[in-house]
Amino acid sequence: MQIELNSVNKYYNRGQHNEVYALKNISFSVQEGEIVCIRGPSGSGKSTLLSIIGCLYPPTSGTAIICGRQIARLPDHFLTRHRRENIGFIFQRFNLIESLTVLENITLPLLPLGVPPAERTVRARKVMEELQIGHREKFRVNGISGGEMQRVAIGRALINNPRLLLADEPTAHLDPQLRSSFMDAMADLKKSGKTIVITSHDIQVTGHPKVDRCFTMEDGTMTAGDGI
């Protein structure tokens, strides 16, 4: 199992007058090499769930085993380390740093690992070659097309060769052609053994033939889906 959540709860401002439940009693698992979709309306808890799977913060209660490690009680330092060794993120609107070049954006996760510049460039070029954006290496990302930005975001997520790829509403601001190309790219990654979790309410994503399972969330709970 790449992901195994049992009775996971997450609430903010615990014990205060503004206490908010974000996730209630979530249990589900994802196997290696699967593409899983989590759908649901805004505020349903999709992003919170993805943040816990992505080790951005631990759950308030319950157990969460991500890439073979129980993260519920890991301090922030180890969460970060576990994240950068095993997980790649793709965000809504890609969250690239516009003033940096394509190469610099892709190599960002390698800087705190102490990878020397020459090795960073070699690794990034390999990824860029696979994603067919090598010709844009020295371009600033605010000067490339939406499709290329999408591939830069995927390249940044893949540079550490993660086992788990998480995508948060990756197609929310893309035209149909780019949505399709994004899912094609995910399908290629699935072939190489990556586990992929995508949050989306885009039918083109949730209904894609390469998606193995789909879960539905509503008001912090999982209401429907295979394997619940």
Partner 1 sequence: MRVISKSLNILDYALSLLVRQKLKNLGVFIVFTAVIFLLASFQLFSTALKESAARILTTVPHITVQKMSAGRQIPYNVDYDELLRGIFGIATVKERVWGYYFDEKNGANYTVVGLDQHHISPRLAEVLSWGGLPQRRGDVVIAEPVQESMQLGSRERFSLFRPDLTMKSFKVVGRFSRGSSLVTDDILLMTRQDAADLFAMDQSFITDLLVDVANPTEIDTIAAKISARLPGARVITQNQIHKTYNVVFSWRSGFGSICLLTSLFAFIILSWDKASGMSPEERREMAILKVTGWQTSDIMWLRFCESSVIAFTAFVGGYSLAWLHIVFFDGVLLRPVLLGWSVIRPSFQLAPPFVLHDFLLIAAFSIIPYMVATIVPAWKSAMVRPDSVM
Contact set with partner 1 (CB under 8 A):
47, 50-51, 54, 56-57, 76-77, 80-81, 83-84, 89, 91-92, 95-97, 99-100, 104, 108-117, 156, 160, 168
Instruction: Using the minimum distance from each CB to partner 1, give the nearer residue, 97 or 224.
Output: 97
CA atoms within 13 A of residue 80's CA, in its CB half-sphere = 6
Helix (H, G, I), strand (E, B) or coil at 57: coil
Give the H or E element holding residue 140. none
Nearest to 9 by CA among 20, 21, 17, 18: 21
Instruction: Using the minimum distance from each CB to partner 1, give the nearer residue, 114 or 209.
Output: 114
Instruction: Using the minimum distance from each CB to partner 1, give the nearer residue, 1 or 113.
Output: 113
The C-alpha angle 224, 226, 228, rounded to 5 degrees, equals 65
Residue 78 Cβ vs partner 1, minimum distance, rounded to whole Å: 10
**DSSP labels, 25-44:** EEEEEE-TT-EEEEE--TTS
* The two structure tokens encoding residue 214: 């789909």
Residue 165 Cβ vs partner 1, minimum distance, rounded to whole Å: 13
Residue 170 Cβ vs partner 1, minimum distance, rounded to whole Å: 12
Instruction: Using the minimum distance from each CB to partner 1, give the nearer residue, 11 or 180.
Output: 11
Residue 87 Cβ vs partner 1, minimum distance, rounded to whole Å: 9
